[in-house]
Structure 1
């Protein structure tokens, strides 16, 4: 199926997901904590996931399925195409009543994302991209912007990523740090030029990153793991070795400053 057709399907699905999620009030939605410190899940996450898991495979029965809220199995590994879904990225933010959470939907073909949507219904922001088709927010083209120097860069990252153990010379470079609770939204804000980079040094789930990977690349940015390797999706264990996503210049400068032997961290 052409990527443009997959994008149409993902866009319809994301809007339907928003309709479901907005029926719930985050602070009053039933909530559970996942085992092994994997964070919270709410009844809204599960309702959105159930709808998507019904809608999308029906439309593309030969595609595999990978979602944060579905039990994983090896069947997806034998598929050329796979849906990679986070029903609500930023569940903790949703549960607290914040508007900064997103639906993150992607299709990967043989490990490369080819269609992607990040939708923030409470902020009325719909980010979309298909391979070779450019990146858009609410139908308008978006692109990354580049600061004159790393010291002027605005970087979305959690404070633990600045720990000395992650950086050559024992100190993080100087830049302007900000934070947003949704990894997908952080990637989208780099793609739309609002920020210079997004950095997370912990191992990251594919469903948090897949949609933003394509949107950022189609907007002219660069993205890799913390070890400088390109991102590949639909891995047997769907984890990536951190993410460095940025304008081309900032991406290069951050990778030069990172210690490749530095440990991963538990925070985002």
Structure 2
């Protein structure tokens, strides 16, 4: 059966939310005493839930999942779901932390076509829609349109990794023409969502990620009007033979030129 784009947006959101609810149950069942056991249980059970749902609802589509076997047949497929069943396993296994996520994205005919990021501990999903992006609470209240906010003049809050912030970011903070505050946040999805929700103004990363770390939040960011690029300014590409996608910049378009210039000036752009 041919699926409409509208169906893909809705399915991505539903699968991310359902996997997120399962992860909250896993936290309750397993507890926090053994962090490694909790992380493993969360990764596997969320992966199994998403894989089963995609096999049921989109049996003809390929899947690239962090926890699954990479089938090279995806490279010839017209539709590929790129999923991270649990983005931010460290934070998931820490009691009280909410900066972890579930990512579900659809790549179709050369580009990202739909995406959803569930923030289960916050009870909300950020997702694409046919005419933009939405924030949907899980409590049944009405969702709202999502648009990236312009930063306050002279100030820039930049999301960075809690545990391994890129060394160049502090140098970057000294180069740009703004007062920069570095804000540690857990998962990549949580960082990009923080940009879209106006909690920070930018996310810049270089030093190691994969397609599943950014596909879904990038899909939502683009739908919300954000600038998204590699740190050299090029557009990120998905469903590549090598799924490594080590760097990313997400911000309001007004900040992009300043940040890309600063990144270049501190020598953080990898050689071509």
TM-score normalised per structure 1 = 0.86
1:42 equivalent among 40, 43, 48: 40
Q: CA deviation at 1:4?
A: 1.4
Q: CA deviation at 1:165?
A: 9.6
Q: Which residue of 1 aligns with 2:232?
A: 227
**1:151-187 CA distance string (max 9 Å, x none):** 40111123743537975xx955341110210111111
- Whole-Å separation in 1 of the counterparts to 2:181 and 2:61: 41
Q: Which residue of 2 aligns with 1:154?
A: 157
- Whole-Å separation in 2 of the counterparts to 1:49 and 1:112: 23
Count of aligned residue pairs for this structure pair: 253
What are structure 1's unaligned runs of at least 5 residues? 33-39
Residues 262/121 of structure 1: CA separation in 2 closer, same or farther (3 Å cut): closer
What are structure 2's unaligned runs of at least 5 residues? 137-142
Residues 262/153 of structure 1: CA separation in 2 closer, same or farther (3 Å cut): closer
Q: Is it true that 1:15 corresponds to 2:21 in the alignment?
A: no
Judge conservation of contact 2:35–2:94 (CA < 8 Å) in 1: no
Q: Which moved more, 1:75-84 or 1:20-29?
A: 20-29
Q: Which moved more, 1:13-22 or 1:216-225?
A: 13-22
TM-score normalised per structure 2 = 0.85
Q: Which residue of 2 aligns with 1:135?
A: 133
Residues 164/189 of structure 1: CA separation in 2 closer, same or farther (3 Å cut): closer
Judge conservation of contact 1:163–1:172 (CA < 8 Å) in 2: no
- Whole-Å separation in 2 of the counterparts to 1:75 and 1:231: 21
Q: Is it true that 1:5 corresponds to 2:7 in the alignment?
A: yes
Question: Alpha carbon RMSD of aligned pairs, Å?
Answer: 2.3
